[in-house]
Structure 1
């Protein structure tokens, strides 16, 4: 009798463990492996009448220099577009969002270039022209961004003033980079709709997309975090914008859409409170995720320009 109970109990435990591993392998592939994601918004076509058409057309047509660099770990070859500005000692490093690439940031590149900035837009690991097996969600990429900053200093000289800017995953990358020891030429940062941590964002999306109640998230999320440690090199809880902002003393502008449900608007308040430097916050009314520039372009540009005028001289 007891042997039968133990045998059935062992089989049940084994089945549960296998189910958890299979589910987490699926979630890992969905979240961290570069591939087409059906749950993401499709990119805007480049045609007259679409939002930000003129800015995106400018980026499409403007001559660009293609830069390459080894990743900070030396494992991957990374690509970027560089657009010089005449007689300018200012540069912006632009970070794109999840499963995007440098060409999706054309409207932002146009905005900064019009403000007189040399523009560098890299592809994150595993996206665009950059090599990489996994999406790092900004945590391993923060060291790549620091290396791109050093490349800008080498190219433009020691007197260059660098602003780092990012949207969505790029916003989180910006905040995660902010806590590193960076070149002194990095003088300000702007983040748009970045998450508080990889764990918080993945947990939110698991609940939102798969309607996972609180109990099944354990042990799925901890096991998924272990997979990221084994494959990418970090536990999801380590990859924290909030924790890195505690070490930031550069000016930071925080932007977030008031109707963002992909990266919930509440996260920007946590990030803002965590920051230790001079800071400003603009919650864009009626804007969904990463749509603040699209829906309120003039106000967006005004907030960015006023922030830069205050801190980049």
Structure 2
């Protein structure tokens, strides 16, 4: 009788282990297939336009052919400089915001004498409604680069790139592809997705190195960049620790600058930084 009970318990244990293993495998598969949903949070809401801050602008739609034969679009705003300045800055937003969230930055750059191209990745705002990935956002900003260089005939030496948060990682990748750019401003960004996962401490039980395909590995790319780089970050950033900008700064080659703003969070470095922030950015650009 005892042997029979032990055999039953043993079989039940095997069943529980098998069910647990299947559930774990399914969870890993889900994370592998759906990980973009944990990185991108596309919105269609455009909260502001350049009109709201008195800037003249032009709506631009960039065409991107896809393998199916269809053509998708990347929506941009072109804000021309007040005067005949040759300097242009590409403005790249973060993972939760549309193009409208960066209107304040556009106003700042415009006041500093630059033309601004604000880019909206596919899946966001008025761009084609498809869920983004690391590959597609790189394609989107490459289309923006080609538009400036080929259609507007902007000299690459006069083009700066600004990226906030995830936009910073996208900016770094674009700069890696176009080393002749004038300079790079990276605000409130991270080292890579792997280290962000470690920082959040949510997925420690999964084999992340095997699952992860969306890497945004800025810390590996930054040493290869030779253009001037300005890193800015809020000391009280609740989403991405300022130590990640410090790590990027350390990994970067000269010329480079780092501005950590006390009291600033993830989305208000410019506002809290005030005059110091303004002067640092203006000096970098001019």
> Pick from 19, 28, 31: which aligns with 2:35?
28
- Judge conservation of contact 1:72–1:144 (CA < 8 Å) in 2: no
Is residue 95–residue 167 contact of structure 2 (8 Å, CA) maintained in 1? Answer: yes
Bigger-Rg structure (1/2): 2
Q: Could you say if the C-alpha distance between residues 133 and 289 of structure 1 is closer, same or farther in structure 2, counting changes exceeding 3 Å?
A: same
Q: Are the counterparts in 1 of residues 55 and 107 from structure 2 also a CA contact under 8 Å?
A: no
CA 1:28 to 1:158, structure 2 compared with 1: closer, same or farther past 3 Å? closer
Provide TM-score, normalisation by structure 2: 0.82
Matched, 1:63 2:56: yes
User: Kindly tell me: are residues 280 and 71 of structure 1, through their superposed partners in 2, closer, same or farther at Cα, counting changes over 3 Å?
Assistant: farther
CA 306–29 in structure 1, closer or farther in 2 if over 3 Å, else same: closer
CA–CA distance in 1 between the matches of 2:56 and 2:105?
16
1:269 and 2:262 matched = no
Deviations for 1:190-222, whole angstroms, at most 9, x for unmatched residues? 0101111122224433x2xxxx4xxx6131635
Q: CA RMSD in A?
A: 3.1
Report SS of the residue matched to 2:281.
Answer: helix
2: distance between equivalents of 1:119 and 1:152?
10
SS at match of 2:226: coil
Does the C-alpha gap of structure 1 residues 296 and 131 become closer, same or farther in structure 2, counting only changes over 3 Å?
Answer: same
State the aligned residue count.
273
Tell me whether 119-128 or 70-79 shows the greater mean CA deviation: 70-79
Distance 2:30 2:278 in 1: 42
By how many angstroms is 1:72 displaced? 8.0
What corresponds to 2:216 in structure 1? 239
Whole-angstrom CA distance in 1 between matches of 2:24 and 2:146:
46
How many angstroms does 1:3 deviate by? 8.2
Q: Deviations over 1:263-285 (max 9, x none)?
A: 11110111112213411111111
Are residues 1:17 and 2:22 paired?
A: yes
Counterpart position of 1:153: 149
Gaps of 5+ in 1: 37-41, 47-55, 226-234
Note closer, same or farther for the CA distance 1:35–1:87 as it changes in structure 2 (3 Å cut): closer
How far is the alpha carbon of 1:2 from its aligned partner? 5.9
Consecutive unaligned residues of structure 2, counting only runs of 5 or more, are 1-5
Q: Secondary structure at the match of 1:296?
A: helix
The alpha carbon displacement at 1:133 in A equals 3.4
User: Given the superposition, is the C-alpha separation of residues 33 and 281 from structure 1 closer, same or farther in structure 2, using an over 3 Å criterion?
Assistant: closer
